[in-house]
Structure 1
Amino acid sequence: MLAIIIPANNEEAVIGLCLQSAQAAACCPSLQGEPVLTIVVLDACTDGTAAIARQGGALTLAVDARNVGMARAAGARMALAMGARWLAFTDADTNVAPEWLHEQVSLDSDAVCGTVSVTDWGVHGEPMRRHFNATYTDADGHQHIHGANLGVSAQAYHRAGGFAPLASSEDVAFVRALQAVGARIAWSAAPRVVTSARHVFRAPGGFGATLLGLNPGLSTGQEFGA
């Protein structure tokens, strides 16, 4: 059994589309009918995220952590307790491709770090899009780490100790822990996701915060790293 885990904090505006894409990935014919759990971890949600998640066929788990590392860890514990052999993580403001889950598990690795793409740059505008395209490596062998496109086997998750209770950069810390225990990591652009460039972000050190922190004039030379 496979699991898709999505942390959410008041995401009623986007969780529906996210779950539609997750459902399509779970039904991918290439998975040959292997069962897939989709778990939305409701972290201090006070809006309609829970109802939309359940309507979308997801299992829900409520926590009051206000901490994305703790939310991802709670979802992982639930999935592992239900027998999942592979954990695929994404974010509520992200849409995954139909082959996303299959591409992760087919790479024959302990973990997969995928890339992200953005279709709507919104308030960031054309200069940010050009800067992203110029500095971001959307190809195999990249070294980017995104919680919106991350997968790991149950065995490797246990060996690395799971997600630390970090409010941001929990994905980076987890991948570093995987490297420390010698996990085989595929740095692949095959599992595709489209994520948000929103300026009202949840994680203080996440992708949205990185975008907002860049100089709109692009004079800093800062690149998109982990």
Structure 2
Amino acid sequence: MTVPGSVRAIAVVIPARDEEELLPAALTSLRTAAAHPGIESVRVLTVVVADCCTDTTAAVSRAAGALVVPVHFRNVGRARAAGVRAALGVIGGPPDGVWIASTDADSSVRPDWLAYQAARAAEGWDAVIGTVNVDRWPAGRTDLADRYRRLYENSRPPADLQWCHPHVHGANLGVSTRAYTVAGGFPPTPLNEDRDLVEALERTGAHLLRTSDCPVTTSARKNPRAQGGFGDHLIELDRTLLDIRTRRQPTPP
């Protein structure tokens, strides 16, 4: 089965800093997604940008068949942009028909993740802005998981309506090369590079699909790589719950 439309190649870009523990699961999920029958005629190139890595991230990536781009930025925006440049250089040819998919080293994609994005590209969407599900919650912390879900989904409409959600995640983002280039690409910022790109896409008139139909699973780890990002958001939620529990404790007589 060939994806209708013009998608001829997909570049998957993953920034990584010392991710030898979680990266193998991410790369395994991507290999499965790349083998989906819906994109059997589409070239898929996975690029891992090893940013200031001191562990075996690069070796793990190469063993999984990924292209490794070593950099020393300590900057996720520059790392994602470097990964895109490297991927487009390897794929070559005109930008038409090349789709850029972004995810994270601590995340696992669904088997149909790439096929879903390619199908949306064939429908004429310039970018797909997806949601995430969180796993690996700390043991016994159902309160944290429940609070996260309530806040994350507080704008979700009734079940029979499409959720045009407000979220942006570098772990679940796809964009055509042409729209990416017009918008200026990932900015060289250490935080919110994904949100800034989407805002630039909006300013340039790109056709954006915000959807929860194909979520990516990401971790709730306590040692996030990007300070001020999604991991720190979860840590702040945990602190808030701790404050609430502390205030509820009875005052000793």
Which residue is 1:12 aligned to?
A: 20
1:151 and 2:151 correspond: no
Give the Cα separation in 1 of the matches to 2:87 and 2:191.
22
- Tell me the equivalent position of 1:200: 223
1:105-154 per-residue CA deviation (whole Å, 9 max, x = no partner) reads: 21231011100001221268211111112121376311100000000000
What is the identity, as a one-letter code, of the residue corresponding to 2:145? Answer: R
1:102, distance to aligned residue in structure 2 (A) = 1.1
Count of aligned residue pairs for this structure pair: 219
Measure the CA separation in 2 of the matches of 1:178 and 1:12.
33
| Cα separation, 2, equivalents of 1:33 and 1:166 | 35
Cα distance in 1 for residues equivalent to 2:170 and 2:210:
13
The aligned residue for residue 130 of structure 2 is 114
Counterparts of 2:51 and 2:179, CA distance in 1? 25
Instruction: Give TM-score scaled by structure 2 length.
Output: 0.83
**1:90 maps to which residue?**
103
Structure 2 Cα separation of the partners of residues 217 and 187 of structure 1:
33
Within 5 A, what are the aligned runs for 1:157-168? 157-168=180-191
Tell me, yes or no, if structure 1 residue 36 matches structure 2 residue 49.
no
In structure 1, the gaps of 5 or more residues are 220-226
Structure whose alpha-carbon radius of gyration is higher: 2
For 2:128, the aligned partner's letter is V
What's 2:35 paired with? 27
Q: Distance in 2 between matches of 1:181 and 1:204?
A: 29
SS at match of 2:132: coil
Q: 1:124 to 1:80 in 2, by over 3 A?
A: farther
Per-residue CA distance 1:183-220 (angstroms, 9 max, x = gap): 1110011222100101100111211011111212485x
Query: What CA distance in whole angstroms lies between the structure 1 residues aligned with 2:176 and 2:236?
Result: 33
Partner residue of 2:152 out of 118, 125, 136: 136
Report the CA distance between 1:167 and its aligned residue. 0.8
> What TM-score, normalized by structure 1, do the two folds share?
0.92
Paired residues of 1:127 and 1:217 also in contact (CA < 8 A): no
Instruction: Map residues 211-222 of structure 1 onto 2, 5 A cutoff.
Output: 211-214=234-237, 215-217=240-242
The percent of aligned pairs where both chains have the same amino acid is 45
Question: What amino acid maps onto 2:40 in structure 1?
Answer: Q
What per-residue deviation string (whole Å, max 9, x for no partner) do you get for residues 32-70 of structure 1? 321100000000111000100011111100110000000
Do the aligned partners of residues 12 and 155 (structure 1) sit closer, same or farther apart at CA in structure 2, a change above 3 Å counting? same
Q: Which residue of 1 aligns with 2:159?
A: none
| Cα pair distance change 1:159/1:13, threshold 3 Å | same
Matched, 1:55 2:63: yes
Q: Which residue of 2 aligns with 1:67?
A: 75
**Quick check: 1:115–1:193 contact (8 Å CA) kept in 2?**
yes
Aligned-partner SS, 1:2? strand
